[in-house]
Amino acid sequence: MTKAVTATACMQLVEQGKLRLDQPAGDILPELAAPQVLEGFDTVDRPKLRPAKRPITLRHLLTHTSGFTYSGWSEALTRYEKATGMPDIAFSKNGAFQAPLEFDPGDRWQYGISMDWVGKIIEAVTDQSLEIYFRENIFVPLGMTDSGFLISSAQRRRVATMYNRQADGSLAPAPFEISQRPEFFMGGGGLFSTPRDYMALLQMLLRRGMFRGARILKPETVALMFQNQIGELRVTEMKTAAPAYSHDFDQFPGMDHKWGLSFDINTKAGPNGRTAGSLSWGGLLNCYYWLDPTKRVTGTLFTQVLPFFDPDILAIYGDFERSLYAELGRT
């Protein structure tokens, strides 16, 4: 669930006037100045590309309306990786930034590597790695001592085992670790953390940018992050292209839900207690969080299981949320 941290860092720079939401991202990163859209493949499986109709803005990147996608939820990008040898973003190889767009910026919502580009923008503007910027400007002020991309030997001994769900419903342990010698730090994933640490970030957002005496964001900035930023566009179901890593994913089936500055927004009350206008998202290994600014409630669930959107873990998540609101209703 790295993206919420990256969005927080990005909005700090917006507050400082170092970034503007609607500025072309190519003004900061020349690699984004002339994006190409993938239109299909020829008879020998070579990608067919064309220039994008409009520039990519920082707002497009923060809202997943840029045209960048993830191969895990895109048959087209999976095919592109196979045809070109481009690495998946999860391997922290810079070659992953050669990915084309799948649609013109602003045309629709689709989850993807946009926040990894935001991480690159943060590093370009600050002349710091994300590891250092996050630590100095978010983690240390909030007392998040167990959060970062790079972990110590002592922390490695505490890393939770990752499990794969088997066909019979059992869990089998499997090796898993984000690279400790990456070519870049991912703005879209890869942070190590703990539930206690992550709750400090969530409480900061719930308390309008301040927690433990540290002002991380201005109240008006947090309010902007919590608002619909995609207009009439809709957050749509994510259809898996890699069943070993994810099931099909839609947090609110049948609901018109929106996107803020790195959050899914349910426009109606959720099924387990959260009010309309709450914010939420998850992480690949079945980690989840929500923020309810109306009832001033936030929660997070950490597990270490593949594939994503595991039905059994979702049931636990729902029970947790319902129990929390039920207890609050009795106080």
Q: What predicted TM-score, i.e. pTM, was given to this entire model?
A: 0.97
pLDDT in tens, 178-206: 889 999 999 999 999 999 999 999 999 99
Q: Is residue 199 part of a domain?
A: no
Enter the tokens of residue 319: 């029970």
Band the pLDDT of 38: cuts 50, 70, 90.
very high
Q: Is residue 32 part of a domain?
A: yes
Strands 36-41 and 47-51 turn out to be: antiparallel
Enter the tokens of residue 203: 């409480």
pLDDT in tens, 300-309: 999 999 999 9
Q: Is residue 306 part of a domain?
A: no
Q: Which residues pair with 225 in a beta bridge?
A: none
Helix and strand counts by DSSP (H, E) for the chain? 10, 12
**Domains held by the chain: number:** 1
Domain, as residue range, for 72: 3-126
Compute the distance between CA of residue 64 and CA of residue 13 in angstroms, rounded to an integer.
Answer: 19
Q: What percent of the chain has pLDDT over 70?
A: 100
Strands 214-215 and 264-266 turn out to be: unpaired
The enclosing domain of 99 has a CATH number of: 3.40.710.10
| Contact yes or no for 109/235 (Cβ under 8 A) | yes
DSSP 123-155: HHHHTS-HHHHHIIIIIHHHT-TT-BSS--HHH
Q: Is residue 103 part of a domain?
A: yes
Q: Is residue 178 part of a domain?
A: no
Strands 171-174 and 162-165 turn out to be: antiparallel
Q: Is residue 321 part of a domain?
A: no
pLDDT in tens, 271-294: 999 999 999 999 999 999 999 999
Q: Is residue 121 part of a domain?
A: yes
Cβ neighbors of 171 (< 8 A, separation 6 or more) are 163, 164, 165, 305
pLDDT for residue 305: 97
Q: Is residue 91 part of a domain?
A: yes
**Residue given tokens 């088997």 in the structure block:** 166
